[in-house]
Amino acid sequence: MNMIMTVDTQNHVVDCSTQRGTLLPNEGQNQLRQAKLAKLVTELCWTTLFPEVSQKAFSDNKDSQVIVAPMVFTPLIGLSEEQQQLQKTRIDLYRQIRFFREQLFVGHDIQSIGVASFHFIADAQGKVNECMVNLNQSPFRSQGFKADSALQQRLATQCKRLDLRQMPGFANYPEGLPMGYVQVDYSPWMNGRKQL
């Protein structure tokens, strides 16, 4: 599966799509799997902070660049038990990041680029008792970061209202997940196509 990302001269993502990769099986086979992968790759395109494209690549300030990135998803079949467990841990972590992103960022106008870190303490029923939020520069996009105390406060308030029983991986802890840590990339384009 190829991720096709278009960025403007400000290095803002303005379009995301996918293209069937050459390594995928016949087009008629696994159509549901391919559709799910395409949806995931498009989501990753909009929500992941990538390094900036050099300004030398743009001919003028109205130019844009299209980046085609091959994405490889390794099935768990054929991996050792240890490798499978590592992959499952990574998948759970991604699902937790996605949960926080969907619960706390979707539908909000984001005016900065950065990484939100959530340190939380919850009880066995999934009620968040404490949630500390830090907003930091992304190592890939330090120029786009703006300190935003209103965003930080809103995220902390909403985090305390989360029902973590809905969070993937929470049920794996029968005593509850007393402490947790999640980092979420954020950007003005993270909620999909819009005018910047």
Residues 139-182 pLDDT 10s: 988 888 999 999 999 999 999 999 998 998 776 666 656 788 99
22 shares its domain with 89: no
Give pTM, 2 decimals. Answer: 0.83
Give me the domain span that covers residue 3: 1-73
Confidence of residue 195 (pLDDT cuts 50, 70, 90): very low
Domain count across the chain: 2
94 shares its domain with 53: no
132 shares its domain with 68: no
90 shares its domain with 108: yes
15 shares its domain with 85: no
Question: CA 152, CA 67: separation in Å to the nearest integer?
Answer: 32
pLDDT for the residue numbered 77: 82
pLDDT for the residue numbered 172: 61
Question: CA 71, CA 160: separation in Å to the nearest integer?
Answer: 35
Question: CA 155, CA 148: separation in Å to the nearest integer?
Answer: 11
In sequence order, the β-bridge partners of residue 70 are 2
127 shares its domain with 184: yes
181 shares its domain with 111: yes
Q: Does position 95 have pLDDT exceeding 70, yes or no? A: yes
Confidence of residue 48 (pLDDT cuts 50, 70, 90): very high
Question: CA 191, CA 110: separation in Å to the nearest integer?
Answer: 9
In sequence order, the β-bridge partners of residue 26 are none
